[in-house]
């Protein structure tokens, strides 16, 4: 899952990046409103954490521009502007959640998980498909036969993205964009290696290959 962090406080950015990566996000960073607005459209992230007091362009204006242009990416506003009327302004501008500084890192992660669940129509931290269950908090999967699978960071990101979009066909390039950060993006053939690992865990027929298009989870006949 790709997360765009738009924050001009370098110290806070440096502290949040490893925390977010450990939670399973591929993190892209912007330090000003103009660049952040561009990346919010260009990268098509799955989640955005947005500060309001940004240089170049105010965070609220950035958020309004996205929504007016039809960009519906879930946004959590993270800001020191935490008066009740400022929270109202943020939510009315299109924010999905609003968290004031200072904050507890675990609350930030929990709110991001909650936003992702709501956006994906999920009610819990567990994703399920064809008998496979993924605990997104523990980053641990359970196979249909009950085996517990300890996933690597990349395996977890890939499986979570596939299970959040189980009916979509995903090209290797698209999967790479949502699993890796821009500076780390691998040859799309590396994705094939990780797809094969997931097939070893959950069965060859768990992920289907669509010739010339990419990969798709097999239909869930148990649904």
Percent of the chain with pLDDT over 90: 79
- Please calculate the CA angle 213-131-127 and round it to the nearest 5 degrees: 75
Confidence tier at 184 by pLDDT (50, 70, 90): confident
DSSP state of 75: E
pTM of the model: 0.84
Q: Which two tokens stand for residue 182?
A: 């821009």
Residue 181: pLDDT band (50, 70, 90) is confident
Q: In this predicted model, what pLDDT tens digit does every residue of 6-41 receive, in sequence order?
A: 999 999 999 999 999 999 999 999 999 999 999 999
Residue 198: DSSP 8-state = H
Average pLDDT over residues 191-213: 94
Q: Compute the mean pLDDT over every residue in the chain, rounded to the nearest whole number.
A: 92
Res 204 pLDDT > 70: yes
185 pLDDT higher than 70: no
pLDDT at 121: 77
pLDDT of residue 124: 78
Q: Which of 164, 165, 182 is nearest to 173 (CA)?
A: 182
pLDDT at position 222, please?
A: 60
Are residues 124 and 116 in contact, defined by beta-carbon separation less than 8 angstroms? no
Q: Which residues pair with 99 in a beta bridge?
A: 78
The confidence band for 137, taking pLDDT boundaries of 50, 70 and 90, is confident
Model pLDDT, residue 28: 95
Q: Which residue has the higher pLDDT, 215 or 121?
A: 215
If one compares 186 and 207, the residue with the highest pLDDT of the two is 207
């Amino acid at each position: 899952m790709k997360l765009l962090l738009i924050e001009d406080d370098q110290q806070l950015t440096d502290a949040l990046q490893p925390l977010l990566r450990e939670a399973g996000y591929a993190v892209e960073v912007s330090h000003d409103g103009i660049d952040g607005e561009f990346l919010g459209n260009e990268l098509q992230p799955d989640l955005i954490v947005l500060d309001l007091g940004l240089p170049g362009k105010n965070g609220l204006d950035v958020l309004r521009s996205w929504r007016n242009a039809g960009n519906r990416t879930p946004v959590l506003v993270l800001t020191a502007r935490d008066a009740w009327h400022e929270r109202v302004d943020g939510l009315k501008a299109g924010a999905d959640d609003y968290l004031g500084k200072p904050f507890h890192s675990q609350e930030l992660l929990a709110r991001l998980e909650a936003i992702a669940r709501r956006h994906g129509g999920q009610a819990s931290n567990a994703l399920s498909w064809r008998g496979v269950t993924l605990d997104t908090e523990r980053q641990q999967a359970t196979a249909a036969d009950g085996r517990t699978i300890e996933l690597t960071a990349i395996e977890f990101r890939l499986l979570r993205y596939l299970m959040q979009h189980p009916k979509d066909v995903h090209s290797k390039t698209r999967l790479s964009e949502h699993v890796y950060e821009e500076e780390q993006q691998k040859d799309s053939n590396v994705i094939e290696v990780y797809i094969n690992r997931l097939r070893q865990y959950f069965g060859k027929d768990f992920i289907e290959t669509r010739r010339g298009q990419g990969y798709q989870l097999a239909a869930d006949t148990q649904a």
